Copies of this chain bind each other. A is one copy, B any other.
Amino acid sequence: MSSCWGNNIKISVFGQSHSPAIGVVIDGLPAGFHIDMENLDAFMQRRAPGQSGLTTPRKEADTVEFISGIINGKTCGAPLCAMIKNTNVRPGDYSEISDTPRPGHADFTAQAKFHGFQDLSGGGHFSGRLTAPLCVAGGICLQILDFKGIHIGAHIERIADVSDQRFDPAFVSAIDLQKLSYEPLTVIDPAIGEAMAERIKKAGEDGDSVGGVIECAVIGLPEGIGDPMFDGMENRIASAAFAIPGIKGIEFGNGFDCASMRGSENNDSFITDGDKIITKTNNHGGILGGITSGMPLIFRVAVKPTPSISITQKTVSFSDNKETDLNIHGRHDPCIVPRAVPCVEAIAALTVYDAWLSSKNSCI
């Protein structure tokens, strides 16, 4: 099912860019958890447009309305439905798309699948706006995980040619996540954040866009979470991560770099750390055989440059099958990477919490 996901908790995401509202139903949340609404709102604001002058001027309050599933501030065991009204709806902006599919967008493939019945306005259900309900679901799971001592944080590892440091894979701690700098962009090294912001601004001024890479770490995850084969942590995380529009790759631990390495370099030796067994290095990114090792779980996703650019592009008219120029009006994020950071954290929280819930039944 395209917009449903999960084994123990199950989310069902709904809405289009310009429908009356967007939202999510979360089935399977345990009863009795107090959701910190201020914390959730702060998390949602990290995804919201309008930050640092780097993102789209579409203004959305993104106020989360809880329709069901909460009594006296706590989950009640019934499915939780959260809704966000679409207030800044301008369907008129998008009429041209119906005949001339935008390069890099889903206009062409949606037409191939739904034969003209799809919602065209603002990308419809394919819009990046649908990551807002994902962040509601993920934001709640982040709080539950925090409560259990499992902490998740992501930062921009790269924008175009500007790279932040990576998390130190074997030693990154919850404190390191607390130390992340959020202004103007979420990075480890604030100076690098400034340089990245410059790249984004420049691309925007050129009517163009840029892509990047986001790195995410999960700290405090006990060993033994996840399953062999199709329900490994990699499978679970990847199955959800590609729901974020624009993600074109994912890697765990040292990822694609391991392809160039020898086993003697890539294998992480086991060592003792008091009573615990840990690994000396963490090329494996906290996952072996699909199951957590207790080391930080680390993954990175590649985000493509925003397909909406104001530079004239080539496309084809559906109606007369002729090649034509396309000029996209309105303004869009010159880079979606900054707003995708909390989305990646949300995905990590959803998948980790779902796997954690499964883990109680491994032994008799």
A239 contact set on B, CB distance < 8 A: 230, 235-236, 238-239
A313 contact set on B, CB distance < 8 A: 264, 267, 269
**A300-351: which have CB < 8 Å to B?**
302-309, 311, 313-316, 318, 321-323
* Smallest CB separation, A23 vs chain B (Å): 7
User: Which segment of A171-179, A186-194, A206-214 sits at the interface?
Assistant: A206-214
Q: Mark A104-141, 1 if CB is under 8 A from B, else 0.
A: 11101110111101110000111000100000000000
**A222-251: which have CB < 8 Å to B?**
223-232, 234-236, 238-243, 245, 247-251
What separation, in Å, do the CA atoms of A301 and B258 have in the docked complex?
11
Q: Mark A246-265, 1 if CB is under 8 A from B, else 0.
A: 01111111111111111111
* Smallest CB separation, A338 vs chain B (Å): 14
Question: Contact check: which of B68, B71, B112, B258 meets A302 at CB < 8 Å?
Answer: B258
Tell whether A280 is near chain B: CB-to-CB under 8 Å: yes
A361 contact set on B, CB distance < 8 A: 8, 28, 30, 357, 360
Query: 11 extra interchain contacts, Cβ-Cβ under 8 A, other than A2-B232, A211-B261?
Result: A2-B230, A12-B79, A21-B67, A67-B83, A109-B289, A208-B262, A234-B247, A248-B258, A263-B307, A264-B313, A271-B323
A38 contact set on B, CB distance < 8 A: none
* Smallest CB separation, A311 vs chain B (Å): 5
Closest residue to A20 on the B side, CB-wise?
B67
What separation, in Å, do the CA atoms of A243 and B236 have in the docked complex?
11
A3→B16 contact, CB < 8 A: no
Closest residue to A312 on the B side, CB-wise?
B264
Known contacts A113-B362, A230-B4, A262-B203: does B267 contact A104 (CB below 8 Å)? yes
10 closest residue pairs by CB, A with B = A106-B289, A249-B251, A2-B227, A78-B125, A112-B224, A209-B263, A238-B238, A109-B291, A31-B117, A269-B314
B30→A362 contact, CB < 8 A: yes
A23 contact set on B, CB distance < 8 A: 67, 81
B289→A110 contact, CB < 8 A: yes
**A153-187: which have CB < 8 Å to B?**
158, 160-161
**Count, chain A residues at interface, CB 8 A:** 156
A1→B28 contact, CB < 8 A: yes
A106 contact set on B, CB distance < 8 A: 228, 288-291
**A61-110: which have CB < 8 Å to B?**
65-69, 71, 74-81, 83, 101, 103-106, 108-110
* A–B complex contacts, Cβ < 8 Å, 7 sampled: A14-B69, A71-B117, A160-B261, A203-B263, A235-B243, A258-B302, A267-B307
Tell whether A55 is near chain B: CB-to-CB under 8 Å: no
A264 contact set on B, CB distance < 8 A: 208-209, 309, 311, 313
A303 contact set on B, CB distance < 8 A: 258-259
A203 contact set on B, CB distance < 8 A: 262-263
What separation, in Å, do the CA atoms of A79 and B8 have in the docked complex?
20
What separation, in Å, do the CA atoms of A27 and B24 have in the docked complex?
12
What separation, in Å, do the CA atoms of A224 and B110 have in the docked complex?
7
A363→B31 contact, CB < 8 A: yes
